[in-house]
Structure 1
C-alpha cells in the first residue's frame, strides 16, 4: 500500500495528538515525562490545526504520524521570519517507523512551502538525539544552521534545539 499525505480530519485530532505525545515520550524527548508542560501542546492538534496546516500520513486507513506545517510567522512559528515556512512536531508512530512516513511528511511540507508566495526557505528545530529525523532532513537537502540554535526554556542551560534549513 502507498502512504498518503493529507490534512488531518477533526475525528483524528485525538489519535494524532496521542501519536505525537507517545513519540516524544517513548523517545525520551521530554524532560519531565508525563508531567512535561510541552505534552499539552503536542496533544493539542485542534489548536495547531486552527493556526497552521496539520498533515497526516495514512496507509490503508491507518494513521501513521503527522506534522505541523507553518507557512510563515504567526502563532505556531517558533523561528520563522517573513520568507520562511517552518516544520514542527514531526512524529511517526513507533510501529510505523522505517516505512517512509516521516520522509513523506517532510517532503509534503517542502512542496507546500514552494507554493507559498515569497517563501524562500523552510526551517525547523530538532533535538540533538533525534538522529533518525536528522538523516531525513539531510537526505532531503536541509543543512544545519548552528547560528540559529536556540533554547526554548532559557532557565535550563542544558536544552538546545538544533536548527536546519532548506533553501528553496
Structure 2
C-alpha cells in the first residue's frame, strides 16, 4: 500500500489502537466483548507505557492496524529470550484486510530488530489463527515448537521465530 504509513503510536492514537485490536480479535472469534483478554487488548495506553506500539495509518491518519513490540524481561514479553525481539497483538481492522497492512507491520518489526542489532524475532499465536500463521510462514518465520505454551487450559499458543543475518 503506497499510502500506508508505519510509525510509533501517539497518545492520540491509543483509543483507535485499542478499538482496532479488540475488533480484529472479535471479528475472528478469538475474544468476546467481555473477555478478560478483550480488556487487555483494549488497554493500548498500558502497552504504550511498557512497550513500543506501532500503527499502520492511511494518508488521513486513520489507524488501520497495530502491533506491540517488546523486549525480553519486560511486562508484555511472553516467550522472548535475550537477543530476541518479540511482537504481540498484531491486529488489522476488518475494513483494511487484504491490503498488506499486517505484512507491513510484521516487516516493520523485523526492520526494528535488524536496526537494533537483534538477530531473532519471536511471537506466540493462537493455534486457531491460521491466516496469521500463513503470513508468518510466507515471510520466513519457522515454528519454534519447544516454546509452545498454554496460558489457559483451553488456549494453546504456537511459537514462531524469524532469524536474520546481522
Q: Which residue matches 1:14?
A: 15
Gaps of 5+ in 1: none
1:137-165 Cα distance to aligned partner (Å, 9 max, x none): 11111001111110012xx2x31101100
**1:111 partnered with 2:107:** no
Q: CA RMSD in A?
A: 1.2
Q: How big is the shift at 1:127? A: 1.1
Matches within 5 A, 1:148-167: 148-153=147-152, 156=153, 158-167=154-163
Distance, in Å, in 2 between the alignment partners of 1:116 and 1:136 is 23
1:71–1:113 CA contact under 8 A, matched in 2: no
1:71–1:116 CA contact under 8 A, matched in 2: no
Size of the aligned set, in residue pairs, is 162
Q: Which moved more, 1:70-79 or 1:47-56?
A: 70-79
Gaps of 5+ in 2: none
Q: How big is the shift at 1:120? A: 2.2
Distance, in Å, in 2 between the alignment partners of 1:116 and 1:41 is 28
Q: How big is the shift at 1:97? A: 0.2
Q: How big is the shift at 1:74? A: 0.9
Structure 1 segments of 4+ aligned residues over 4 angstroms from their partners: none
Q: Which residue matches 1:84?
A: 84
Distance, in Å, in 2 between the alignment partners of 1:144 and 1:16 is 28
1:70–1:76 CA contact under 8 A, matched in 2: yes
Q: How big is the shift at 1:60? A: 1.9
Distance, in Å, in 2 between the alignment partners of 1:80 and 1:15 is 27
Question: What TM-score does the superposition give when structure 2 sets the normalisation length?
Answer: 0.93
Q: Which residue matches 1:126?
A: 125
